[in-house]
Amino acid sequence: MKNRSFAVPATAACVASSTAPSSARGTLRKLVLSATVAVLALGSASAFAWSQHGTAYTSHGTYNGARFGSCGGGSCSHAGGVAGPYGGFASNTGTVTRNAPGQFSNSGTATGRYGNSVQRAGDTNCAGGSCSHTGTLTGPDGKTATTSGEVTRTAPGQYSSSGSITGSNGNTVDHSASTSCAGSTCSRSSTLTGPDGGTVNHSGTATRVAPGVVTTSTSVTGTHSNTVTTSGTVVTTGVVTTGGTTVVVAPKPVVVPPPVVYVPPPVVYAPPPPPPAVYVAPRAVYVAPAPRPVVWVPGHWVGRVWVPAHWA
């Protein structure tokens, strides 16, 4: 998997493109340019902007993805998408706004390869060491799914979270997770449980091995006991390597995020028999049949280091 990421001022935002042209990449360039124009039009006074693109090579073909984001005036917006090997294309846009101390709202749209769109909206409230989140997902036929969750700081360096997503047919997927940080290492484990009792388990660690250098490892085990593992190294001013791939990044930008915003993890679950419609969590994700050779990792903080979203 190739993945490139860089941050620039909003007034000089630019988009990187691949050196190997193809129809999918051409589509991707159009997406990134459109996303750039849209985000800058919505927030021309943004204090910070970033763009990212990457390529995933799988046994089912090559997938190209790109994202652009901008923050300013108490809001952050993003736009992006993925182009598949057979011409399919999915996009995602959204905005998070700080309404008051400890209170946030989010909204956005995810559009699939066939043009069907899912609208999402939610609210987050933080107080006393905990953040709770509720949200809704509305499909093109008007059916809705609901989400809820909570994350709590249980002790210094210790966090726990739980939540659920309920589809329009009433099927519910529950998730729970715990994070522990001690010394120079943080570890996290989580479990997704479907309505029929099937589970998906995630685990991972991040370790600071030197100033500005963090190593990571993750493991995902699906309902059929297939496991996908990844590992990599993050350097705050230099390069990022993921499974042998080098990613050029800029020095860490100065970003002041909200205190804690809980975003439920994306749920990818297909219980037998498949329900008529299940709207899955906010990001459009191409999922290859198990075992999955690649994993999309959302943006997250590792200590004081912001790791942008990337393919891993």
Residue 248 clears pLDDT 80, i.e. is over it: no
Among 189-193, 217-221, 225-229, 245-249, the range scoring the smallest mean pLDDT is 245-249
Question: Shortest CA distance to 86 belongs to which of 35, 130, 7, 24?
Answer: 24
Give the model's confidence band at 243: pLDDT under 50 very low, under 70 low, under 90 confident, else very high: very low
Please give the residue that has the higher pLDDT: either 183 or 47.
183
Which pTM does this prediction carry?
A: 0.58
The answer to whether residues 9 and 251 touch, using CB atoms and an 8 Å cutoff, is no
pLDDT reported for residue 134: 96
pLDDT reported for residue 234: 75
**Tens digits of residue pLDDT in 40-74:** 544 444 567 888 888 888 888 898 999 889 999 89
Give the model's confidence band at 183: pLDDT under 50 very low, under 70 low, under 90 confident, else very high: very high
Please provide the distance, in angstroms rounded to a whole number, between the alpha carbons at the two ends of the chain.
7
Report DSSP state, residue 128.
Answer: T
Please give the residue that has the higher pLDDT: either 4 or 292.
292
Residue 292 clears pLDDT 70, i.e. is over it: no
As a whole-number percent, the residues of the chain with pLDDT over 70 amount to 63
pLDDT reported for residue 26: 57
Please give the residue that has the higher pLDDT: either 12 or 216.
216
Question: Shortest CA distance to 79 belongs to which of 50, 121, 45, 48?
Answer: 50
- Which of helix, strand or coil describes residue 289? coil
List C-alpha distances in Å: 228 to 204, 262, 265: 12, 25, 17
Give the model's confidence band at 179: pLDDT under 50 very low, under 70 low, under 90 confident, else very high: very high
Average pLDDT over residues 183-197: 93
CA distance 134 to 145: 11
Do you know the residue count of the chain?
312
Residue 106 clears pLDDT 80, i.e. is over it: yes
Written as six digits, the tokens of 129 are: 């060491």
* pLDDT mean across residues, the chain: 75
- In CATH, what class is 2-311? mainly beta
Give the model's confidence band at 260: pLDDT under 50 very low, under 70 low, under 90 confident, else very high: very low
Residue 198 clears pLDDT 70, i.e. is over it: yes
Among 12-26, 119-133, 198-212, the range scoring the smallest mean pLDDT is 12-26
Tell the burial category of 52 from Cβ atoms under 10 Å away from its Cβ (0-12, 13-18, 19+).
buried
Written as six digits, the tokens of 181 are: 């940080």
- Residue with the two structure tokens 């001690």: 182
- Strand 2-8 relative to strand 296-297: parallel, antiparallel, unpaired? unpaired
Give the model's confidence band at 291: pLDDT under 50 very low, under 70 low, under 90 confident, else very high: low
As a whole-number percent, the residues of the chain with pLDDT over 90 amount to 46
- Which of helix, strand or coil describes residue 40? helix
**Tens digits of residue pLDDT in 69-89:** 999 989 999 999 999 998 899
Average pLDDT over residues 246-260: 41
Average pLDDT over residues 291-301: 65
pLDDT reported for residue 220: 94
List C-alpha distances in Å: 60 to 48, 64, 268, 292, 294: 36, 13, 19, 10, 12
Please give the residue that has the higher pLDDT: either 307 or 241.
307
Residue 218 clears pLDDT 50, i.e. is over it: yes
CA distance 182 to 157: 7
